[in-house]
Structure 1
Amino acid sequence: MTVKTITTGELAKKVVNHEETLILDVRNTDEFDDWKIEVGKVKVINEPYFNLLDGIESVEGDLQKDQEVIVVCAKGGSSQMVGELLDEAGYSYVYSLEGGMKAWSEHLEPTKVAGLKGGGSLYQFVRLGKGCLSYFVESEGEAAVIDANRMTDIYEAFVEEKDVQIKHLIDTHLHADHISGGRQLAENVKGTYYLPPKDATDVTFDYTALQEGNDIVVGNTTVQVQPIYSPGHTLGSTSLIIDDQYLLTGDILFIESIGRPDLAGKAEDWVGDLRETLYKRYKELSNDLVVLPAHYSFAEELGKSGEVSARLGDLYQKNSGLQVDDEGEFRKMVTDNLPPQPNAYEKIRHTNMGKANPDEEERREMEIGPNRCAVHG
């Protein structure tokens, strides 16, 4: 018998709706330990596929025959086979995740953050498999996409559904953990691609400078995207204020952590910039701004509707990375708590500079694994 499949979109709906979900991950333990589905109310059991070939006794104590079990592997083949073993053993509601973790890594789940004051809307695209967050601003038939992932077809389908035209593609910084779709999307829709000039000194393509003081208007002056220079994660990192209400912080400030300054080998040089941005530049902004970061790290950061956001003033009360008054202690906290580098981060940076052009399959492989853009105090 062929076991039923569940799509990444169907699983994503369960996650963002905080439904109780049981996943049996049958990848090797080292792959599982490095990266797994751990969002919402998901319980994950890991039992490598080869341990189950001669019988499912090792997982029977963790599973009930009348509960839904979603089996996950790397690409969707092994999970189908394990699902058949469970089905033969009398488990009634077994599903195989279509495309496995490879497909999960690429799924984007759009969530409406809010309507905007002059009309239009702001959406957050949650990449649940990597913790990447991108944004879509639309007003009066025009749209801007910020920190787009490389799966450009998802944004293009979204604008077709909304009947708007993408005019602006913006990267808040040169990304190192995933391949940006901004430049490709700009080519596809004949839009303008923006990048901070201090992050673009080695790029091989033309771009429009994302600079403080140069507003980007979406629609008929209804929504203003106002850049704020905020270095620290990269030298050029630039935040955006949208509609005087929302602060898009890129990889500088997250909900439960802060950005890392070392992905260009500049931790000692850039940690001072990071502190300046977090402890001075952002401090001068309104506490009522809603922070919308470019990544998240923890399941708890997903809100009730699946969005990732927090009031800036609340983060100054709760985020441990914003609580270190002594500059020396801050420097020590950042440099001592750097996580492992993202997978293939140098090649990803070179791809985002236009210096490398890997084929689509290699691009997918380069991005496999979690984001590692944060420092956790």
Structure 2
Amino acid sequence: QDGDEVRVGDATLTAVATPGHTTESLSYQLDGVLFTGDTLFLEGVGRPDLERGDDGSDAAARRLYESLQQRLSAFPDPTTVAPGHYSDAADPRADGTYTARLETLSDRLAALSMDEAEFVAHVTNDLPPRPPNHERIVAVNLGLEDVDGETAFELELGPNNCAVAG
């Protein structure tokens, strides 16, 4: 839930509700780092159609817009964004991480400066094909199917088209 704290060793991460890619999507904040999962990537934003299909994509895109504009933009510009994955086109920073400062992404990604109507049209038009295993991943994520750790790992190894152009 939003605001919940998760302790990992001596560190405490704070949950930030960022619905849009999925209904219950959470990002996590730790000091000056924001772990954005599938909400915000280095090259784009989370696609809104995987959980509820085409019929739910406009509503999900509006939730994603609110998450980006109201929740994530509230963090200070120097916040480091650490997405859940990165594409083959992404380049690591000098320290080897696939991260970027929030202000860099705000400048780089046109989607972050669009109004809501532009954003919804941008992220719902011309979506790439859904990964062939996405329905099974959704079932696992919703708790409708139990899989062991090895199977979950293998599902994540497949094509991952979670982002749309920024």
TM class, shorter-length: 0.7 to 0.9
* Residues 1:228 and 2:11 aligned together: no
The answer to whether structure 1 residue 259 and structure 2 residue 46 are counterparts is: yes
Query: Does the 8 Å contact 2:21/2:46 carry over to 1?
Result: yes
How has the CA–CA distance of structure 1 residues 272 and 354 changed in structure 2, closer, same or farther, with 3 Å as cutoff? closer
- Match runs of 1:324-343 below 5 Å: 324=114, 326-343=115-132
Runs of 5+ unmatched residues, structure 2: none
The size of the alignment, in residue pairs, is 163
Q: TM-score, normalised to structure 1's length?
A: 0.40
Q: Structure 1: which 5+ residue stretches go unaligned?
A: 1-210
Task: Supply the distance in 1 between the matched residues of 2:157 and 2:4 (Cα, whole angstroms).
Answer: 36
Query: What TM-score do you get using the length of structure 2 for normalisation?
Result: 0.85
Query: Aligned partners of 1:282, 1:232: CA distance in 2, in Å?
Result: 13
- Are 1:337 and 1:376, in contact at CA under 8 Å, matched by a contact in 2? no
CA separation of 1:302/1:337 partners in 2, compared to 1, >3 Å: closer, same or farther?
A: farther
Aligned to 2:33: 246
Tell me the amino acid that sits aligned with residue 300 of structure 1.
A
- The answer to whether the aligner puts 1:372 opposite 2:161 as a matched pair is yes
The answer as to whether partners of 1:344 and 1:367 remain within 8 angstroms in 2 is no
Spell out, residue by residue over 1:149-183, the C-alpha distance to the aligned partner (whole angstroms, 9 max, x if none).
Answer: xxxxxxxxxxxxxxxxxxxxxxxxxxxxxxxxxxx
CA distance in 1, matches of 2:129, 2:104: 29
Does the C-alpha gap of structure 1 residues 329 and 346 become closer, same or farther in structure 2, counting only changes over 3 Å?
Answer: same
- How far 1:287 moved relative to its partner? 1.0
Secondary structure of the structure 2 residue equivalent to 1:263:
coil
**Aligned twin of 2:8:** 218
Q: Deviations over 1:94-116 (max 9, x none)?
A: xxxxxxxxxxxxxxxxxxxxxxx
Write the mapping of 1:75-114 to structure 2, written as runs, cut at 5 A: none
Give the corresponding residue for 1:139. Answer: none
1:345 aligns with 2:134: yes
| Partners of 2:90 and 2:98 within 8 A in 1 | no
CA contact (8 A) 1:229 1:238 kept: yes
- Is residue 42–residue 90 contact of structure 2 (8 Å, CA) maintained in 1? no
Percent identity over the alignment is 40
Distance 1:301 1:354, change over 3 A: same
Measure how far apart 1:323 and its partner are: 2.6
Distance (Å, rounded) in 1 between the aligned partners of 2:109 and 2:133: 29
CA contact (8 A) 1:249 1:293 kept: yes
For residues 22-59 of structure 1, give each alpha carbon's deviation from its aligned partner in whole angstroms, at most 9, with x where no partner exists: xxxxxxxxxxxxxxxxxxxxxxxxxxxxxxxxxxxxxx
* Deviations 1:114-166, CA, capped at 9 Å, x for gaps: xxxxxxxxxxxxxxxxxxxxxxxxxxxxxxxxxxxxxxxxxxxxxxxxxxxxx
Matched, 1:280 2:70: yes
Q: Which whole-Å CA distance do the structure 2 matches of 1:364 and 1:236 have between them?
A: 21
Question: Contact conserved, 1:343 with 1:367, CA < 8 A, in 2?
Answer: no
> Residues 308 and 350 from structure 1, CA distance in 2 versus in 1: closer, same or farther, beyond 3 angstroms?
same
> 1:159-216: per-residue Cα shift (whole Å, max 9, x none)?
xxxxxxxxxxxxxxxxxxxxxxxxxxxxxxxxxxxxxxxxxxxxxxxxxxxx122222
Residue pair 2:33, 2:81 contacting (<8 A) in 1 also: yes
Task: Give a deviation string over 1:271-296, Cα, whole Å, max 9, x none.
Answer: 11111111121111111110000011
- Encode CA deviations 1:224-265: one digit per residue, 9 max, x unaligned: 2011111111111111101x2100011000011111111112
Displacement after TM superposition at 1:345 (Å): 0.8
Q: Write the distance in 2 (CA, Å) between the matches of 1:225 and 1:362.
A: 27
Residues 359 and 308 of structure 1: CA distance in aligned 2, closer, same or farther (over 3 Å):
closer
Larger Rg: 1
